[in-house]
Copies of this chain bind each other. A is one copy, B any other.
Amino acid sequence: MTRPEASGFTETSLVDYIQSRLPPSPPWLRVPIGDDAAVVEPPRGELEVLTTDTLVEGVHFDFAFCDPADVGVKALAVNLSDLASMGAEPRLALLSLSVPAAMGRDRLEPLLDAALASAADHRVAVVGGNVTASPGPLVITMAAAGAVRPRRALLRSGGRAGDDLYVSGTIGAGAAGLGLLRNGRRPADADDAECIGRYRRPEPRVRLGLLLGRTRTASACIDLSDGLADGVRRLAQGSGTGAALQADAIPIHPGARRYFRERGLDPVAASIAGGDDYELLFSVPAKRRRALASVVKLARGLAVTRIGSLTKDQRVVLRRGESEEPLPEGFRHF
């Protein structure tokens, strides 16, 4: 609607810019970006999965330690992570930007380029775009749609007491990466650099989510955008169970372990409370363990770790050896 002249983009020129950088439309995209709305053929024989997520400058990112390309990639990644947690295959996205007057094309173009390149990598068609002026921060909202076969969607509510809990990848890297960036410290080594990379450009676990859903391996699944503690609590609540995590089983990223130790914090408590880990947490019935082994083989080297189980007891606890404590609270954005 609006033309934020200061950014050098009008709405029309933004849509033109996006159009000029899009790969050829997939055959199901009947009317691509450029009309009042897009027209698409729905996925045949499948259900649609829909989500939306927003990144706000000063809340979810800061240009002091993220470059525009990071922000563009992350805006898509946080949405794809939601689709992954449902077991859906991403299909399309809509992109809305509210742009401060001070943000010129020199920062807006790399942001768009990176978002569009990432969309192309994930075979996501960007079917709509919208730009407005912002008298405040840069705000990016994306909506994304994917497809899932009937009865293959992964919900939070499918877990049963006795199911094992697994997490993909490692935990704590996102929060440690943000901490390192805020402290303005240069990465000391590859572990630090990886934490920073994971904060700046989380990798949505799209392939793992798809495999877990298609093979009916997971009974429930959620993504860890708000941290492991928050995810466990929501999955257990959704499934009407409690949960028990084994502290020493939780795969803390080595860079995060060091980062939190150096600050006198317990690495387990800090890592599971921290947000920005876009890993998947999922429950697997004991009888599906063999299926999980097959999924892991197909997951292209992404580790999957058993960290506990869902319990009849409705509490959500962290076990350290013989002792037991309530799970810490989830993450709150700065």
Residues of A within 8 A of B (CB): 1-3, 30-31, 35-43, 46-54, 56-60, 78, 82-83, 85-86, 88, 92, 94-96, 98, 127-128, 130, 132-137, 139, 141, 143, 145-146, 148, 153, 155-157, 222-223, 225-226, 238, 275, 332-333
Residues of B contacting A94 in the complex (Cβ-Cβ under 8 angstroms): 50-52, 143
User: CA A52 – CA B145 in complex, angstroms?
Assistant: 13
Q: Evaluate contact between A136 and B133: CB separation under 8 angstroms.
A: no
**Known pairs A98-B139, A332-B2; A130 contacts B47 (CB<8 A):** no
Given contacts A37-B51, A40-B48, A50-B94, 10 further A-B contacts (CB under 8 A): A1-B78, A2-B60, A38-B50, A39-B48, A39-B49, A41-B48, A52-B141, A54-B132, A56-B134, A136-B136
Q: Would you mind naming 10 contact pairs between A and B with Cβ atoms under 8 Å apart?
A: A1-B333, A30-B47, A35-B155, A36-B51, A52-B94, A52-B130, A56-B132, A56-B139, A96-B141, A128-B143
Report how many copies the assembly holds: 2
Distance in angstroms from A214 CB to nearest chain B CB is 15
Q: Evaluate contact between A86 and B47: CB separation under 8 angstroms.
A: no
User: CA A198 – CA B98 in complex, angstroms?
Assistant: 24
Name the CB-closest residue of B to A148: B39
Distance in angstroms from A314 CB to nearest chain B CB is 18
Residues of B contacting A88 in the complex (Cβ-Cβ under 8 angstroms): 37
